[in-house]
Amino acid sequence: VPTGPQGEPWTYSAAGVDVTARSRALASLLAGARFRPPPSHGRVLDVPGHYAGLLRIGRETIAVTTDTVGTKVLLAARLGRWEEVGEDIVGVNVNDLAAVGARPAGLVDTILCARADDSVFAAIGRGLGRGLRRTPCALLGGETALVPDIVAMYDLGGTAFGFFPRGRRPVTGARIRPGDRILGIPSSGIHANGFTLVRRLIDQARVDLTAPRAGETLPLGHELLTPTRIYTRAVDAIADRAETHGLAHVSGGGLRNLIRVNSKVQFVLDRWPAPPSLFEWLRSLGAISHEEMFQTFNMGIGFLLVVGREHLSETKRRLARAGAPDAVEVGHVERGTGVRLPDLGLHYASYE
């Protein structure tokens, strides 16, 4: 079994992503950048640590979120396939809007590149278009910078914003209470998180990206690039409902994301379905612990919904009609704090 750089099991941090250094730097940045403008320039709504910033402008509340596809682009470059990561620009952003119950309205993209290759841009554009149609939302603009002295190849990112249709309020997780049920909507694969670790594992084991894994038909490279599933239509169908208490996009940080939604209850995931074989394959490739897997990858479920206990079936029916017939109950809420996976004896106490 191949293991980490010093012979120990692989972790996200051993792969080179120093989450602690990032948090510390971010705190340094925010210390200087905090500023509350006069109300004539909009009123910021407090949802600290949440997926999206919320701002009251005139008679509307706007949600804004920004994210990049990250190092998944390096795999795209290796395989010369750009449509999937183009679609991911949309997915990584609009799913964060869905996590506050906002309906997506627009996206701007930012592409940094060393040189502008028409065929790569055309493929990214096709992927973007597919993502926008799935959401649905409009491309409102973008920035394309040719900066060979800054980026080695490509960086793909975006900013999405959404709104709350008349009568809908942001879903912040504050109304989650013991007894609530937790529904999960499956992911389409590993989405766009954890790729620095994935690339290290693949390089170390010299895995052939052009061949399928045992029992699969899709070449591994294509399987890994599968675009992030977009949850906005499903969420839009239940976000108006009073029984929808909390929403979480299982992105970077994995299951820990539930804690940012509400830190005063315990999320007990006692019905988590067996993760798709890709995750187990990755796990064994790096002798990775279950604890590390569930805080780095989505482990088969890309979006979580916390609903009032009496409304489980009704929510499932609504989700099914809106494109998520595969939503399943994965757990419930108890008194306590953090996230617990009893089958694996895991407990996450904090978001970071």
Residues 42-71 that bind a copy of itself (CB under 8 A): 42, 44, 52-55, 57-60, 62, 64-68, 70-71
Residue placing its CB nearer to a copy of itself in the complex, 135 or 266? 135
22 binds a copy of itself (CB under 8 A): yes
CB 112 within 8 A of CB 150: yes
Q: How far is the CB of 132 from a copy of itself (least distance, A)?
A: 5
223 binds a copy of itself (CB under 8 A): no
Region near a copy of itself per CB under 8 A, out of 129-137, 270-278, 301-309, 339-347: 129-137
In the block, residue with structure tokens 């993760």: 275
205 binds a copy of itself (CB under 8 A): no
5 binds a copy of itself (CB under 8 A): no
DSSP 8-state secondary structure symbol assigned to residue 298 = -
Q: Locate 59 and state its tokens.
A: 């008679």
Q: How far is the CB of 231 from a copy of itself (least distance, A)?
A: 15
* CA neighbor of 52 nearest in space, from 129, 163, 168, 184: 163
CB 226 within 8 A of CB 131: no
φ, ψ dihedrals at 249, nearest 5°: -90, 120
Q: How far is the CB of 345 from a copy of itself (least distance, A)?
A: 31
Distance, in Å, from the CA atom of 75 to the CA atom of 305, rounded to the nearest integer, reads 31
Instruction: Provide CB contacts within 8 A for 344, sequence distance 6+.
Output: 290, 291, 294
13 binds a copy of itself (CB under 8 A): no
Residue placing its CB nearer to a copy of itself in the complex, 46 or 206? 46
Q: Locate 245 and state its tokens.
A: 């208490």
Among 129, 186, 219, 323, the residue binding a copy of itself under the rule CB under 8 A is: 129
Q: How far is the CB of 44 from a copy of itself (least distance, A)?
A: 5
Show the binding pattern over residues 256-275: x = contacts a copy of itself (CB under 8 A), - = does not.
Answer: --------------------
Buried b (16+ CB within 10 A) or exposed e, 200-230: bbbeeeeeeeeeeeeeeeebbbbbbbbbbbb
Residues in 138-177 that interact with a copy of itself by CB under 8 A:
138-155, 157, 159, 161, 163, 165-166
